[in-house]
Amino acid sequence: INHKWQLLLGRGSSSYSQLLAATCLTKLVSRTNNPLPLEQRVDIRNYVLNYLATRPKLATFVTQALIQLYARITKLGWFDCQKDEYVFRNVINDVTRFLQDSVEHCIIGVTILSQLTNEINQADTSHPLTKHRKIASSFRDSSLFDIFTLSCSLLKQASGKNLNLNDESQHGLLMQLLKLTHNCLNFDFIGTSTDESSDDLCTVQIPTSWRSAFLDSSTLQLFFDLYHSIPPSFSPLVLSCLVQIASVRRSLFNNAERAKFLSHLVDGVKRILENPQSLSDPNNYHEFCRLLARLKSNYQLGELVKVENYPEVIRLIANFTVTSLQHWEFAPNSVHYLLSLWQRLAASVPYVKATEPHMLETYTPEVTKAYITSRLESVHIILRDGLEDPLEDTGLVQQQLDQLSTIGRCEYEKTCALLVQLFDQAAQSYQELLQSASASPMDLAVQEGRLTWLVYIIGAVIGGRVSFASTDEQDAMDGELVCRVLQLMNLTDSRLAQAGNEKLELAMLSFFEQFRKIYIGDQVQKSSKVRAWPAQQLEQLEQLQFQVFLAKHITNLKYWGRCEPITSKTLQLSVRKLVKLSAVQFMLNNHTSEHFSFLGINNQSNLTDMRCRTTFYTALGRLLMVDLGEDEDQYEQFMLPLTAAFETVAQMFSTNSFNEQEAKRTLVGLVRDLRGIAFAFNAKSSFMMLFEWIYPSYMPILQRAIELWYHDPACTTPVLKLMAELVHNRWGIPKNLGFPGILRNRILTLGEVPKDQVYALKLKGISICFSMLKAALSGSYVNFGVFRLYGDDALDNALQTFIKLLLSIPHSDLLDYPKLSQSYYSLLEVLTQDHMNFIASLEPHVIMYILSSISEGLTALDTMVCTGCCSCLDHIVTYLFKQLSRSTKKRSTPLAQESDRFLHIMQQHPEMIQQYFSDLRNSIVNSQPPEKQQAMHLCFENLMEGIERNLLTKNRDRFTQNLSAFRREVNDSMKNSSYGVNSNDMMS
């Protein structure tokens, strides 16, 4: 192997042959099976460094591939020793010779450090996550601060000289230095970072040993100076570094240090706002908006107002925000950060205790006005020029409205007055256009667009009402806004037979949801929050609670039957008191007959195609439950259409030839209907009526459907979800329904499934089966001990089915698919808690599979998964402890024999459960300065003080108390110490 890659690299004249050699070597050193010997990897590392040093002008992609190879070797060999030396850890020494040579060599050296930092920060799926975290933690503790300090030092040297901005090589060096610094600051210091999309307002967990770098104001000043002295194309990286620096954890400083740091930070922001020329670059603008958002996410309003230049800075930020909102077409994705800043500022107003004025009563109305007016003004331009409409992105709109809801409630009388004025103007213009025979479609569309924004915004500000901060005057203002939206709704509904606007309807539904959340409820008449409403508004409220809500339900289902977003949102707006109305009673009695003719819908498939049937029946089921009680006649009347449909399917199955597509469509629709009803029935009496209706009469039909169409998830998924809903219900009595076994027997015959379809065709059904079994085992429906007593093999069959399904899943898939992860680990938690005798009876390779999955799950980002794994491990170790403690004098029983077999397996495979506590203790103690080692050793000794050798709750609680004391003592011992960063971060 050596000869071949040296031949390709050393003698190859083609850049592509060099790239091929580097890429192949990277794959070779990355493999987990049959890894290269240590000596060979050391040789490759040394050869690559020499190759880069002697060929500084290689093609860029070749240099990058070789640096990637170096980074991969170094990362994977981080813990490899040769003659008691960690041979891959002297990374700064490796690049020193590059930094002392030409600019080209410097660039290579800095890029090596940057790529290595990035490589170690990124988990790779081919190696265990636990190994990644150990390497990352060791690299952080031993090398990262030195790399960061070196990077800042080189940046200071570069900024201290007159940079030759015409020299592209110096440009390259500056860019790589900034990337390196950013990679250092963006390091996942404590192993909790999720994906990059969630980093908007996070805290950077800088280790305590880095304190000196941040207490020194020159570090912060360095980046502000660089921002003003380098070309705008480099500025985004500088601002990205500042974003991270502004987000360092608060506990890194004491109060005085934090105030000083914040003062320097605000001064730097002020200087940028006073010279905003570079912010015309969209990337600079975006990063600067992120920096502004961090000011409030990491600091309190009470701290900000005490900064010397606060009045001037808040004025500059307000002006910048207003200008940004007015230029809505420029960097629209950055608006989120500005609104986030003002939302957090406004939310802090009731709590600020500082005597210094915050001045938000002056500036929040300006921000609110700028947002509202800019959205209205954008409508005409978007329609005129055919631009992308922000209203198409309902997720983005809702996010901005959630932020505006808090901002707008600050100085609410100004917000309300503005909305009344703008709404009245738009509504009057719209009505005039409707009455005009010469009105153009464009003019109508513009006014509908403006009204859409206003209805969304009105719903948002009403939804932002906070009960303890609201007044009668503000509630009266809400009434003014509600009346206007209802009047508009009456107007638009009257035109639906001719024309309708989908976006405006969605805005109405958003308004209804916000209004219902705040003002509609069983006690609404007694609520003080509406007493301030004028009599006319109270009358409208009563109307809204009953007839208006019902009318909107039926109107939308009638005219928007083929619009899935409107239909599903409409069906989610159920109100309990609607059941009193005669029209609702009609719906309950005629929900499937005549294909929903009472809604004016002539084809029931409208609801089937839109996948709304489950939601529709959930709404109907909830309405039925309000007055159902023990009235079996009313229940039977409600179920008649569904009974008829089931009988039709049964007749189809009873014949030798039938229309398969028609049968499948009718079944799929029925199980969605039933799932909606089962979800809605949350009382024992109503659920038992449903269960006794479906079991056992119609269970064979569902079973037959699974047997026929096991390969079609469009059929199996709805059926399995119905069964899961029945089992999940806390009032249900599960039977041996046979579904997991049937599905398993068919799924295991599917053969190889394409990777891009494996979840839909296989894993989704398995995941639902896991959820069903977990619910059945944890529902306290039956004493499982009686199964063995009476020779009933139903439980054993179900558990064996679980194992067969589990072993058909590649190990990596368990964590790659979140829903599968949650269902599997939830089920495993129940099995290890109540059925360890079954686990103990499994073959060693199955036990190893389960233990490995627990080990991987302990480091999962999903809290539900990792905490479930902790419980599983606790149950397993508790079981082992009990078996080891069991008296040998007890007579042997089948259960005892299984336990002995499990202990034997553990003894034969000690790698299954290993203890690292001693190594961890020694590592932490030895990392302390000599004078603190004895104290640290004592901390560990105190952990077991008063702990007895039993599993009693009192004993466990005592250990928990000891652990809390241990954490406090370690933190106190390590304060202001530059040693033991790893353990300090672990404790914090």
Closest-CA residue to 839 (of 848, 849, 831): 831
- Among 196-210, 221-235, 450-464, 804-818, name the most confident range: 450-464
d(CA 186, CA 118): 9
Cα–Cα distance between 978 and 941 in angstroms, integer? 23
Task: Report the pLDDT value the prediction gives residue 795, as an integer from 0 to 100.
Answer: 78
Per-residue pLDDT band at 590 (split at 50, 70, 90): low
pLDDT band at 520 (very low <50, low <70, confident <90, very high): low
Q: Do 174 and 218 sit in the same domain of this protein?
A: no
The rounded percent of the chain whose pLDDT value lies above 90 is 30
Sequence-separated (6 or more) residues with CB below 8 Å from residue 332? 390
Q: Are 701 and 645 in contact (CB under 8 A)?
A: no
> Two tokens at 92?
């700064």
Per residue in 819-834, is it b (16+ CB within 10 Å) or e — as a string? ebbbbbbbbbbbbbbe
Asked whether residue 34 is domain-assigned, the answer is: yes
Whether residues 5 and 129 fall in one domain: yes
Containing 176, the helix (H) or strand (E) segment is helix 168-185
Taking residues 530-543, what's their average pLDDT? 52
Query: Which string of DSSP letters, residue by residue, matches 588-648?
Result: HHSSSGGGTGGGT---THHHHHTT-HHHHHHHHHHHHHHHHTT-HHHHHHHHHHHHHHHHH
Confidence of residue 112 (pLDDT cuts 50, 70, 90): very high
Pick from 42-51, 89-98, 311-320, 490-499: least confident? 490-499
- What backbone torsions phi and psi does residue 56 show, to the nearest 5 degrees? -70, -10
Which of 277, 392, 390, 405 lies closest to 340 in space, CA to CA? 405
Greater pLDDT, 245 or 902:
245
Query: 511 pLDDT exceeds 70?
Result: yes
pLDDT by residue (tens digit) across 403-453?
999 999 999 999 999 999 999 999 999 999 999 888 899 999 999 999 999
Domain range for 747 is 732-886
Q: Does residue 91 fall inside a structural domain? A: yes
Judge if 22 and 123 occupy the same domain.
yes
On average, the pLDDT of the chain sits at: 80
CA-CA distance, 859 to 125, in Å (whole number)? Answer: 13
**478, part of any domain:** no
Q: Distance between CA 749 and CA 752 in Å, rounded? A: 9
State the DSSP code for 533: S
17 and 100 in a single domain? The answer is yes
141 plus 236 within the same structural domain: no
* Local confidence band at 588 (pLDDT 50, 70, 90 cut-offs): low
Q: Are residues 143 and 32 in the same domain?
A: yes
Say which range, 198-212, 280-294, 876-890, has the weakest mean pLDDT. Answer: 876-890
How many other CB atoms are there within 10 angstroms of residue 862's CB atom?
15
Which phi and psi angles does 81 have, rounded to 5°? -115, 145
Shared domain for 163 and 310, answered yes or no, is no
Q: Is residue 627 part of a domain?
A: no
pLDDT at 579: 52
Would you say residue 367 lies in a domain? no
What b/e sequence results for 258-285 when a residue is b if at least 16 CB atoms lie within 10 Å of its CB, and e otherwise? beebbbbbbbbbbebbeeeebbebebbb
Closest C-alpha among 773, 823, 829, 827 to residue 798: 773
518 pLDDT above the threshold of 60: yes
Indicate the SS3 state at residue 81: strand
State the Cα–Cα distance between residues 735 and 856, nearest whole angstrom. Answer: 34
Backbone angles phi, psi at 204, to 5 degrees: -90, 115
pLDDT at 601: 37
Q: Which residue has the higher pLDDT, 603 or 352?
A: 352
- Reported as type and span, the H/E element at residue 379 is helix 360-385
Going by C-alpha positions, the residue among 834, 605, 621 that lies closest to residue 729 is 621
Instruction: Give the residue, 388 or 583, on which the prediction is more confident.
Output: 388
The dihedrals phi and psi of 437, each to the nearest 5 degrees, come to -75, -20
Reported as a pLDDT band with limits 50, 70 and 90, residue 549 is low
Query: Considering only 86-100, 124-138, 186-200, 344-358, which range has the smallest mean pLDDT?
Result: 186-200
Q: What per-residue confidence (pLDDT) applies to 738?
A: 41
Main-chain phi, psi angles of 248, to 5 degrees: -60, 145
Classified as helix, coil or strand, 234 is: coil
Maximum average pLDDT range among 207-221, 555-569, 573-587, 970-984: 207-221
Structural domain ending residue among the three candidates 161, 191, 221: 191
What pLDDT is attached to residue 149? 95
Q: In which band, very low, low, confident or very high, does the pLDDT at 671 lie, cut at 50, 70 and 90?
A: confident
Residue 486 in tokens? 């209802």
Residues 855, 164: Cα–Cα separation, whole Å: 54
Mean pLDDT score, 767-796: 73
Is the pLDDT higher at 648 or at 297?
Answer: 297
Three-class SS of residue 301? Answer: helix
Give the mean pLDDT of 928-957: 85
Residue 158: CB atoms within 10 A of its CB come to: 17
pLDDT at 13 over 50: yes
Q: Are residues 793 and 852 in the same domain?
A: yes
The burial of 477, by beta-carbon neighbours within 10 Å (0-12 exposed, 13-18 middle, 19 or more buried), is given as: buried
Q: Are residues 801 and 880 in the same domain?
A: yes
CA 956 to centroid of chain Cα atoms: 33
Look-up of token digits 């055919």? 386
* Per-residue pLDDT at 729 exceeds 90: no
Point out the least confidently predicted range of 273-282, 644-653, 801-810.
644-653
Last-in-domain residue among 317, 341, 369: 317
Exposure b/e, 287-306, CB count within 10 A at least 16 = b: bbbbbbbbbbbbbbbebbbe
* pLDDT > 90? residue 196: no
Report residue 618's pLDDT band, with 50, 70 and 90 as the boundaries: low
Residue 123 in this model has a pLDDT that exceeds 90: no
Weakest mean pLDDT among 315-319, 517-521, 545-549, 764-768: 545-549
Domain count, the chain: 4
Q: Residue 599: what pLDDT?
A: 38
pLDDT at 623: 60
Last residue of a domain, one of 282, 297, 317: 317
Cis peptide leading into residue 696 (ω within 30°): yes
Q: What was the pLDDT predicted at 612?
A: 54
- Of 189 and 652, the structure prediction assigns the larger pLDDT to 189
Judge whether residue 313 has pLDDT over 90.
Answer: yes
Question: pLDDT value at position 425?
Answer: 95
Same domain, 820 and 944: no
CA 240/CA 746 separation, integer angstroms: 53
Mean pLDDT of 786-811: 78
854 and 951 co-located in one domain? no
Among 426-435, 843-852, 935-944, 971-980, name the one with the lowest average pLDDT.
Answer: 971-980
Per-residue pLDDT tens for 867-891?
888 899 899 888 888 887 774 545 4
Report pLDDT for 343.
Answer: 94
For residue 742, pLDDT over 50 is answered with no
Instruction: Answer whether 299's CB lies under 8 Å from 249's CB.
Output: no
Contact between 937 and 947 under an 8 Å Cβ cutoff? The reply is no
Q: Give the distance from CA 539 to its chain's centroid.
A: 43
Determine the residue type at 408: G
pLDDT tens per residue across span 467-482: 777 778 888 888 889 8
Q: Find the mean pLDDT for residues 833-860.
A: 84
Residues 923 and 827 in one domain: no
Please state whether the predicted TM-score (pTM) of the whole model is above 0.85. Answer: no
Q: 386-400, 530-544, 736-750 — which one is most confidently predicted on average? A: 386-400
375 lies in some domain? no
Q: 43 vs 193, which has greater pLDDT? A: 43
Question: Is residue 794 one of the residues assigned to a domain?
Answer: yes
- Alpha carbons 15 and 278: distance in angstroms, whole number: 38
Give the residue with greater pLDDT, 627 vs 835.
Answer: 835
**Beta bridge partner(s), residue 86:** 81
- The verdict on residue 667 lying in a domain is no
The token pair that represents 648 in the structure block:
């039709």
